[in-house]
Amino acid sequence: MAASPSPDAAPADGSDHDGATEDAFALRVGQRLRAIRQAQALSLSDVEERSGGRWSASAVGAYERGFRNLSLPRLKALADFYRVPVSVLMGETGPAGEPRDRRKLVLDLDALRGVDAAEPVQRFVQSIIEARGDFNGRVLSLRHDDLKALCVLCGGDIPTGVAQLRAWGVLVDGPEVAEPPPDFRARPGRATDRPA
């Protein structure tokens, strides 16, 4: 019986895995693009219209499906259009070498549905639920790579976003992060929470 090659070994035909790795990376970037677009309640047509035709619906759809690769300047321009850091689209959560708390972010979906101010977060979470086909309806565990995108939707960096999720009472479990900035003020969660 022949031994199976190591998954890291080069194929016998001399080709390499770079094409597959690049395709997988393009697909992950595309999934993040779609999640951010949907979290902002934009259709592909809306993107084309609001960008004045700079981003055609068909091109953005192809980027989202991983069928087309984005150059770095175009990725930066699209990140600017969506008002998110490029690092969010790339799936980066912090500087290289920074220790990362690998606990998943667990959200209470029932509590989240009751937070009026969390509508962008609700749309982002809904796009993840639909992509996974995970409709249990009570809690949702998010991957660490989703944390930064979620925190941007909550209004800032990771410490600010986690603090906001905690203030809304929707965070069941999550990473230990630095304290939010001293000027952090939680946004009211429900209409009844707002000052008179």
What region, left, alpha or beta, does residue 190 occupy, with left being phi > 0 and alpha being psi -120 to 50 degrees? beta
Between 46 and 37, whose confidence is greater?
46
pLDDT value at position 150? 80
For residue 112, is pLDDT > 80? yes
Q: What is the pLDDT of residues 79-101, one digit of tens each?
A: 888 877 887 788 765 544 444 44
| pLDDT higher than threshold 70 for residue 3 | no
Report the predicted TM-score, pTM, of the whole model to 2 decimal places. Answer: 0.48
Q: Which CATH architecture has domain 105-193?
A: Orthogonal Bundle (1.10)
Specify the CATH class of 18-90 in words.
mainly alpha
Q: 105 - beta bridge partners? A: 142
Sheet harboring 105-108: ordered strands across?
Answer: 139-142, 105-108, 171-173
Asked whether the predicted pLDDT for residue 5 surpasses 80, the reply is no
Give 114's contacts (C-beta < 8 A, 6+ positions apart).
Answer: 189, 190
Domain boundaries, the chain: 18-90, 105-193
Confidence bin at 124 (pLDDT 50/70/90): confident
pLDDT of residue 54: 92
Greater model confidence, 176 or 177: 176
Rounded Cα–Cα distance for residues 146 and 69 (Å): 21
